Amino acid sequence: MEQRHYEAVFILTPVLSEQQMKETVVKFKDYLKEKGADVYHEENWGLRKLAYPIEKKSTGFYCLFEFKATPELIQTFEIELSRDEKIMRYLTVKLDKYGVEYNEKRRKELKNKKEVKKQEA
């Protein structure tokens, strides 16, 4: 079956330690790879304020994955996310060709900004 481009953002509960948060992110990344997905980009946005309280919490750790997978995998991936009590919210979006192009451009800009910071330091 043909693999499609997806983007998944999930919010982890803020009561986790840095280590627990990283372990949870690795767990879901490994799950995707195990099932044949190609995780080609990952971003950790850190602890951010939520627009509205979720489970009486006003902050959460945000994480983003960009990956290629079959449509069948998305359903099982979202079930795994919903079963984990560390995950407060998640959203998985199928990217069209414009979304893929935009994300590639954005990644290049992020990479360029990091290189400029290294040169300034």
Contacts of 16 (CB under 8 A, 6+ apart): 24, 61, 86
The pLDDT of residue 82: 95
pLDDT along the chain (121 residues), means of 10: 91 93 94 93 92 93 94 94 95 94 90 81 69
Q: Return the structure tokens found at 84.
A: 């984990």
The pLDDT of residue 115: 82
Report the alpha-carbon distance of residue 118 to residue 64 in Å, rounded.
Answer: 24
The amino acid present at 30, given as its one-letter code, is D
Domains, the chain, ordered by start: 4-96 (3.30.70.60)
| Cα–Cα distance list, 81 to 1, 9, 28, 74 (Å) | 23, 11, 8, 10
- The CA dihedral of 63, 66, 71, 76, to the nearest 10 degrees, is -30
Q: Other CB atoms closer than 10 Å to residue 79's CB: what's the count?
A: 9
The pLDDT of residue 29: 95
The pLDDT of residue 5: 94
